[in-house]
A and B are shown apart, each in its own frame.
Chain A
Amino acid sequence: MRSLAFMLVMDAPMNAIDPRVRRQWRIEAAGASVIAALAILVGSLVLPISWPARAGVIAATVLAVAAGLQAIVSVRYRYWRYGLAPDVLILEHGVWTRRRSMTPYFRVQNVDVSQGPLERWLGLKRLTIRTASAFTDATIPGLDAVMAEQLRVRILERAGQDAAV
């Protein structure tokens, strides 16, 4: 993986998220494509074109959107990394805009582990760390359910007792 090579890297091994998350993202992308198809269908009703032409436009657009979204899923997965440095949680992600965020454990206010229906089916969980800033970027998607619980415990162990604000 080409990491954020232009940036210095903190001394922490970076881990990939669970590959099953790609299936979750693909299904979500397919859902988004269906919604896009419906929106295009409604929008095309105002255009004075024949039904075969309309069907062609919709099919072509939906195929393009779906192909684009599916391609993005692979790239998005490739760039998602997280690492637990001794004092800091590090996340790296993003396709167009690459982000690298660092959150010290002692700033953690609480840790949420959540699981939607798709994630439940795939045996995945999402872990969110909250600090006093709503802008803190600290959600790790696509974690194996057991790993998510282990991570939660490890982060809370390191969170300490500071006032955090």
Chain B
Amino acid sequence: MQQSEIPPPAPIPPPPTAGWRRLHLASPILNSVTTAARFWPVLLIALFDEGGGLVVASLLGGALLVAVAVEVTRYLRFDYRLDGTTLVVRSGVLVRRTRTLPADRIQQVSLNQRLRHRLFNVAEVLIEVAGSGTEPDIKLSVVGAAEAERITVRLQDARRTVGATPPEPDRVVFEQPNDSLARWAAFASPAFMLPVMGAGVGALAEAVDLEEAWTWLPDGAQLWLIGAIGIVGLAAATAFNVARFYDMRLVRADDNFRLEYGLLTHRRLELPTERIQALVTRLSPAGRLAGTVRITAHNASSAGEATNSYLPAVPRSEHEALAARLLPEADLDLPLQRHPRGALRRAVLRWTRPVALVGAVTSVVFRTGWAYATFLLLPVAAALGWRAWTLLGHAVTADTVVARRGAITENLTVARRSRIQSVSLAANWFQRRLALATLRVEIAQPLGRVSIRDMAAADAARAAEDLIARNHTRVSQGHHPERAESDQ
């Protein structure tokens, strides 16, 4: 038998070493400070402990030492490379982990430059894919500002290579007017200010004997003091909100949206247009007073609101046009289908029931005029229920599902049909009696789902089947309006 010559096994190529990059040298220092800062409650306790100076110093020193050791080890064991159309990251001290992320799976790239980062001219790059959990999928903390820019551009280029979309010149889609931002910040601040002031007063009460100081003040001065604290708190909260969203610009860069903002912390979010799953416009009482609307563009990453594209104070005159630019299928002027009278009954009950319950309990327990006066809120609750019903509405178009709800705050959600994951119908006993049902359209996190409450049951069933059947047909035939739009 003739023996064929077995070729010697080809040598296994060594893992590529070229192209691997480390984080910036300042990374261990900055991350150590962040880690050490997490020990502030310990520091606070030690500070208020009598004769705790030595304890404070040793605690702080120990925490810093541990943090530096951990961060230096992490730095040495972390590297990344941009390999064609994929980003590869190696990390882990005891357990080594290599993550490979194809560029076309990226939902969002964010670039954060805090004040401390600017001292070293570095930035954080957060990369999110679908279902990232509560933390970004890949966090490069920190790289040089120029390197951060290079990564963002390279990932964008890689996505373009994968999707084969032609480049487009950058154009500014929206610039936040300073006056509307300041108005919104002033009106939105009280809600933010109260917990901050509460925490401040709590800390002050720990430090000085407030009761004694209070009696020491002359008559009438207490009221002035409260007023002054309120004004300072309001001004501080307003300044904080303005600084946070200062100089906000939304730029259409190729097939991405780029959102830039922030005075002290610079933030930049890169959001691929076709990754937008839904758009939510929110008209709150503060927004109503300021004449602004909040718009959030949701993608499929679930790393929280901090990294989702959200414009807090879009002037009402501009919000419809901006929504249409973010999601071309979105038509905020679309006439919505109202919900049946049974829904009115449920809305009024939903608002009046808690008031009646609280009124009944307080009346039985306290038996005072104030307790009985709770019932005076019933007409207000009923009016809010009626308002909730008048706002309730929905529409199902060829490309979107639109749902409006709210009473005090008005929310309008427009979800892309091509992004629907599943659809469900639910009806409890009360709804079944009134021939109503709730239609839930489930999309990827973080929005998760769009609920259309108390529709006519027959309409809900028809809409559910239509959404599932046509959505499947269109998507399986490759109909993606968002892709078509981004290809233009």
> Do the two shown chains form a genuine complex with each other?
yes
Binding site for B on A (CB under 8 A): 4, 6-8, 10, 87-88, 94, 96-104, 106-107, 131-138, 160, 162, 165
B457 lies within 8 A of A134 (CB): no
Task: Judge if B476 is at the interface, Cβ distance under 8 Å.
Answer: yes
Q: Give the residues from 427 to 450 in chain B that come closer than 8 angstroms, CB to CB, to chain A.
A: 427-429, 432, 435, 437, 440, 442-445, 448-449
Whether A97 lies near B442 (C-beta < 8 A) is: no
Q: Within the complex, which residue of A6, A99, A104, A138 is in contact with B472, where a contact is CB–CB below 8 Å?
A: A104
| CB-based contact B424/A102 at 8 Å | yes
Q: What are 19 A-B contacts with C-beta separation under 8 Å?
A: A6-B435, A7-B425, A7-B457, A96-B429, A98-B428, A101-B422, A101-B424, A102-B422, A102-B424, A102-B465, A102-B468, A106-B475, A132-B131, A132-B444, A132-B445, A134-B448, A160-B476, A162-B476, A165-B444
Nearest Cβ in chain B — how far from A145, in angstroms? 26
Q: What are the residues of chain A within 8 A of B429 when measuring CB–CB?
A: 96-97
Q: Which of B300, B422, B427, B476 has the most CB of A within 10 A?
A: B422
Find out whether the CB atom of B472 lies under 8 angstroms from the CB atom of A133.
no
Q: Chain B interface (Cβ within 8 Å of chain A)?
A: 130-131, 300, 419-429, 432, 435, 437, 440, 442-445, 448-449, 457-458, 460-462, 464-465, 468-469, 471-472, 475-476
- Decide: B445 and A134 in contact? CB cutoff 8 A: yes
B425–A100 CB distance below 8 A: yes
A8-B461, A131-B442, A135-B442 known; A103+B422 contact, CB < 8 A: yes
Interface contact A104-B471, CB-CB below 8 Å: yes
Partner of B130, one of A94, A98, A99, A132: A132
- Determine if A135 and B468 form an interchain contact, defined as CB atoms under 8 angstroms apart: no
Q: Which of A87, A131, A135, A137 has the most CB of B within 10 A?
A: A135
B420 to chain A, nearest CB (A): 8
Q: How far is the CA of A34 from the CA of B200 in the complex (A)?
A: 47
Given the complex of chains A and B, what is the CA–CA distance between A3 and B236 in angstroms?
58
A133-B428 in contact given A7-B460, A102-B464 (Cβ < 8 Å): no
Which residues of chain B are within 8 angstroms of A88 by Cβ–Cβ distance?
468, 472
Q: Is the CB of B443 within 8 A of A96?
A: no
Given contacts A6-B432, A6-B458, A131-B442, contact A97 B426 (CB under 8 A): yes
Q: Which residue of B lies closest to A98 (CB)?
A: B427
- Cβ of A131 and Cβ of B426 under 8 Å apart? no
Describe B's contact surface by its main secondary structure: mixed
Per the bound structure, the CA–CA distance linking A98 and B449 in Å amounts to: 18
Complex partner residue of A99 from B300, B426, B462, CB under 8 angstroms: B426
Residues of A within 8 A of B445 (CB): 132-134
The residues of A that contact B449 with a CB separation of less than 8 Å are 133, 135
A94 to B462, CA, bound (A): 20
Q: Is the CB of A7 within 8 A of B461?
A: yes
| Choice from B300, B422, B437 contacting A104 with Cβ under 8 Å | B422
Interface hub of A98, A137, A160 (most chain B Cβ within 10 A):
A98
CA distance A131 to B424 in the complex (A): 14
- Judge whether B448 and A133 touch: CB under 8 Å: yes
Instruction: Report the 3 A-B pairs with minimum CB-CB distance, sorted nearest first.
Output: A101-B424, A132-B444, A7-B461
Give A131 to B300 CA distance when docked, in angstroms.
Answer: 12
Q: Per a CB cutoff under 8 Å, which of A8, A96, A131 touches B422?
A: A131
Please state if A136 and B421 are interface contacts (CB–CB under 8 Å): yes
Given known A-B contacts A6-B435, A98-B427, A132-B131, A138 and B422 have beta carbons under 8 A apart: yes
From A94, which residue of chain B is reached at the shortest CB distance? Answer: B426
B442 x A6 contact (CB < 8 A) = no
Give the distance in Å from the alpha carbon of A131 to the alpha carbon of B429 in the complex: 29
The answer for the CA separation of A49 and B78 in the assembled complex, in Å, is: 66
B415 CB, nearest partner CB in chain A, Å: 11
CB distance from A11 to the nearest CB of B (A): 10
A93 to chain B: closest CB distance in Å?
10
- What are the residues of chain B within 8 A of A133 when measuring CB–CB? 421-422, 442-445, 448-449
B463 to chain A, nearest CB (A): 10
Given contacts A6-B435, A133-B421, contact A87 B458 (CB under 8 A): no
- Report which of B130, B437, B475 forms a contact with A7, defined as CB distance below 8 A: B437
Query: Shortest beta-carbon distance, B304 to chain A, in Å?
Result: 14
Residues of B within 8 A of A87 (CB): 468-469, 472
Q: Is the CB of B427 within 8 A of A6?
A: yes
A165 touches B300 (CB 8 A): yes
Contact across chains for A102 and B423 when beta carbons are under 8 A apart: yes
Q: How far is the CA of A93 from the CA of B243 in the complex (A)?
A: 50
Contact for A98 among B432, B442, B443, B462, CB less than 8 A = B432
B340–chain A nearest beta-carbon distance, Å: 13
B333 CB to nearest chain A CB (Å): 28
**In whole angstroms, what is the CA distance A90 to B140 when docked?**
42
A10 contacts across to B, CB distance below 8 A: 465, 468
Determine if B465 and A8 form an interchain contact, defined as CB atoms under 8 angstroms apart: yes
- In the complex, A80 Cα to B419 Cα: how many Å? 28
B435 nearest CB across to chain A (Å) = 6
B476-A106 in contact (CB<8A): yes
The residue on A at minimum CB distance from B423 is A102
Closest to A165 in B: B130
Which residue on A lies nearest to B480, using beta carbons?
Answer: A163
In the bound assembly, the distance between CA atoms of A98 and B425 in angstroms comes to: 8
17 other A-B residue contacts (CB within 8 Å) besides A7-B458, A107-B422, A133-B448 = A6-B461, A8-B461, A96-B429, A99-B426, A100-B426, A102-B424, A102-B465, A103-B421, A104-B472, A106-B475, A107-B421, A133-B421, A133-B445, A134-B445, A135-B440, A137-B422, A162-B476
B473 nearest CB neighbor, chain A only: A87
